[in-house]
Structure 1
Amino acid sequence: MKMSSSWRGGDLIYPVKEGQAMGYVGKWMWLSVLCVLMGVVFAPGLSRSEEIRLGYPKLGWSSTELVDRLGLLTEKGYNVKYELFQVPSQMGVAFGAKKLQVTTMSVALAGKMYEQGIPFKITGVVQAVLGSIVVPKDSAIQSVLELKGKKVGAVLGSSTFADFVWMIKKIYDMDIRQDTQLISATSPPDLATLMLNGAIDAAIGWVPIPEKLVSTGNYRYLVKQQELWEQAYGRKDPAVLVVYIAGDDMVQNNPQFLRDLNEAQKRAAEIWYTDKEKAVKVMQEVTELPKDLVSYSYDQTTRVLYGLTEEHIDQILFQWKEAQLHGFLKSDIWLKPEEARKLFFKP
């Protein structure tokens, strides 16, 4: 009997009887169409039933809270285990140890992670800058320059503190690490305690901790981070603070999850701006803060972001360059934007 090669995806693999080859082709084609219609994808990488570990900070105010608590990825069939952290720098440690496959991370701390030998790709944006400097309402301090020599509290491992360092240095030629009496807070709640106890003259923090102080009526904003961004560079666009980062394995083996994560983040942003009651309820559940404080903090939020546009990428590269020029980052990679673009963003 004369034999012919059969077909599978263009490859000649199994010998079959002549005249039957096209029958097999037809069956495979119909099966492929059926799989597409049913949403079944045969491809290497993680299946949707496998656990994906995603980290974000408990008091990070990243809007990932909505993705988590509203099940925006679960409804797509993913098995996501969300890990909450008290301090953002702890997420970098967990990510570097491969205990997280995806995590939120600030732009500045992501740069530090690379310098510590932790590879990553930025896969989406999450939140604009949230920081501010708060002083007592009756304080004599009226400008950033008047912080010189004062006791200034901050979570030193946070990206918000890092951003304030290099923007204040650019605007005022003042290094708050050297020109103030810097007092380290172990966490955002600890920062509030330092201020409430009178241990510091000013606090550098991010939503919702400065808002917790200001909402009492006994404290006021000295300056907000977005104001410094606009003053330093004459830009009105919201400065990107928080991004999603993933390991190379995740980027290569499960790109569909990362696309779905960005889509879920977009839905979170839509809910944030169309349903304040739902957004506040979720943020209250995660942060365990009083509803009135969460509602006030919601109103102070600069911008919830999503996606990853060329404009986002250009701005992130610009921020890294500025952080290097002002001493926060050290590597020369930040001065080579095209090289950094290839290294940290998927083509």
Structure 2
Amino acid sequence: MKGNRISRRDFLWRAMLLGGGAALWPLVQACEEEAAPTPTTPRAGTTPAVTRPSRTFNFAYLTLGWAGTEIIHRQNLLGRRGWNMQWQTVGPISGLVNTFASGQADIIDMSVIIAGQMYENNVKLKVFGTAVGSLGGIIVPQDSPIRSAADLRGRKVGGIPGGTTTQDINGSLRRLFNLDVFRDTQFVQATDPPSAANLLQTGQVEALLIWEPTLAQLELTGRFRILVTQQQLWEQASGSRLTQVHVVYLTTPEIAQQYPQLLRDINDAQREAAEMWNRRDEAAITSIMEITQLPRDVVVRAMSRTTILYGLTDDQMNLIIEQLKFNREHGTILRSDVWNDAAKVKNEFFLKV
């Protein structure tokens, strides 16, 4: 968006969500871009033999989304495959949702539960790849009397309502302890990871629901400890031992139909980024530091606790459907029974390329 102008499409999108979505919070706020879009083109001598379209594709992702996209961007992994990309980092989750829904981005990364809510609200999309496994946790001060998640009842708890970490942890807490963080705690809302971390660091809350790398950033101060992880709660609540899919890549149906090779190359670039991530490649560390503006020790600690993913297999689709069904039953944000129809979801929500 430019200046203070709001397009009619943006206005209708916000009105739709506010009128028919979660009453707890306004999902879509004005898009706040953290950095100006940056185009990348193939490096000299690296253009593939196959011909790529001359058009430029807009790829937006969360500044602190922590999905490996930083490496694809900074290492020009799509440019090396012949694609012209324009990159944009966005701070708030709601800003990224708005960027995609208003047609300002062709491809984004998005957490699973929020992608599900977008689908429920008739945003046209196709999930074509996975990016990262479960990232979140509950973190408290070192000297906190809180010893289990059940102890959160009645406490001041912070989190980002429009994020999968908060929504997924809340679903598990409702299932395990009949504890709803929005109803049974003094919940304090943040808009992005830095503002969430500030709530805990300044003592405004007694516990925080947040994801990597903010967990590592807080833990490395020596003042805070992780109470329980999102993955641990998921395993306890669902009985599953599979690593949750936390972040996926999605695009528009038009891009999916016209440029399937682009999506295949994004998945392949994610595979390359995952290999760099897993061996702690210096270029990968530097790329992440440049985008997140976090120090090396935080980046390396968070990388070591992250399960990086790529591609989209049948098993991954089935697991994502199970996660969405679980959150429909035990969470507060998903409202449609469509998640019980696996065949319909696989046909409409996913795209295997």
Q: Which moved more, 1:81-90 or 1:306-315?
A: 81-90
Residue of structure 2 equivalent to 1:309: 313
Correspondence for 2:282: 277
1:324 aligns with 2:325: no
Query: What is the aligned partner in structure 1 of residue 347 from structure 2?
Result: 342
The SS at the match of 1:297 is: helix
The CA distance in 2 between the partners of 1:175 and 1:285, in whole Å, is 37
Deviation by residue 1:143-163 (Cα, 9 ceiling, x = unmatched): 001000000000111111111
- What is the distance in 2 between the residues matched to 1:332 and 1:196? 39
Q: 1:175 to 1:346 in 2, by over 3 A?
A: same
2: CA distance, partners of 1:165 / 1:115: 20
**Residue 55 (structure 2) aligns with:** 50
2:80 aligns with one of 70, 75, 99: 75
Write the deviation string for residues 160-196 of structure 1: whole angstroms up to 9, x where unpaired: 1111111111122211110100001122111111111
Q: Per-residue deviation at 1:40?
A: 4.3
SS of match in other structure, 1:104: strand
Counterpart contact for 2:119–2:349, Cα < 8 Å: no
**Structure 1 CA distance, aligned partners of 2:63 and 2:98?**
16
Structure 2 CA distance, aligned partners of 1:290 and 1:314?
37
SS at match of 2:204: coil
Contact 1:155 1:186 in 2 (8 A): yes
SS for the counterpart of 1:75 is coil
* Partner secondary structure for residue 140 of structure 1: coil
4+ runs deviating over 6 angstroms: none
User: Which of 80, 92, 107 does residue 87 from structure 1 map onto?
Assistant: 92
Identify the residue that residue 97 of structure 1 maps to in structure 2. 102
Q: Which moved more, 1:140-149 or 1:222-231?
A: 222-231
Letter in 2 for 1:228: L
SS in 2 for 1:235: coil
Structure 2 equivalent of residue 264 of structure 1: 269
Superposition RMSD on alpha carbons, in Å?
Answer: 1.4
Q: Within the alignment, does 1:183 sit opposite 2:188 as a pair?
A: yes
Aligned to 2:33: none
Return the offset for 1:208: 1.2
1:229 maps to a residue whose letter is: W
Determine whether 1:205 maps to 2:202.
no
CA contact (8 A) 2:58 2:86 kept: yes
Q: TM-score, normalised by structure 1?
A: 0.85
Q: What amino acid sits opposite 1:325 in the alignment?
A: E
1:144 correspondence with 2:165: no
AA in 1 matched with 2:289: Q
Return the alpha-carbon distance in structure 2 between the equivalents of residues 299 and 308 of structure 1: 23
Kept in 1: contact 2:138–2:209 (CA 8 A): yes
CA contact (8 A) 2:93 2:192 kept: no
Aligned-partner Cα distance in 2 for 1:164–1:233: 12
TM-score, with structure 2 as normaliser: 0.83
After TM superposition, the structure 1 = structure 2 runs for residues 152-171 of structure 1, keeping only pairs within 5 Å, are 152-171=157-176
Partner of 1:23: none
Note if contact 2:169-2:234 (Cα within 8 Å) is conserved in structure 1.
Answer: no
Percent identical pairs in the alignment equals 37
* Alpha-carbon distance in 2 for matches of 1:254, 1:299: 34
Partner SS, residue 294 of structure 2: coil
Structure 2: unaligned runs, 5 residues or longer? 1-47
Does structure 1 retain, via aligned residues, the 8 Å contact 2:190–2:196? Answer: yes
* CA displacement 1:36-64 (0-9 Å, x = unmatched): xx8445xxxxx532110011100111111
1:108–1:163 Cα contact (<8 Å) kept: yes
* Amino acid across the alignment from 2:299: V
Residue by residue, what CA displacement relative to the aligned partner does 1:74-112 show, whole Å, maximum 9, x if unpaired?
001111111101012211111111111111011100111
CA distance in 2, matches of 1:345, 1:115: 14
Correspondence 1:238 to 2:251: no
Describe the SS at the equivalent of 2:217: helix
Q: Answer yes or no: is the 8 Å Cα contact 1:56–1:62 preserved in 2.
A: no
> Displacement of 1:72 after TM fit?
0.6
Which region of structure 1 is more displaced relative to structure 2, 201-210 or 233-242?
A: 233-242
Structure 2 counterpart of 1:306, one-letter code: Y
Is residue 2:89 matched to residue 1:61?
no
Instruction: Name the amino acid aligned to 2:197.
Output: A
How many residues get paired? 304
Asked if 1:255 corresponds to 2:270, the answer is no
Do 1:49 and 1:77's aligned partners in 2 also have CA atoms closer than 8 Å? no
CA contact (8 A) 1:166 1:328 kept: no
CA-to-aligned-CA distance 1:115-145 (integer Å, 9 cap, x gap): 2220111100001111010000000000001
Shift of 1:321: 0.9
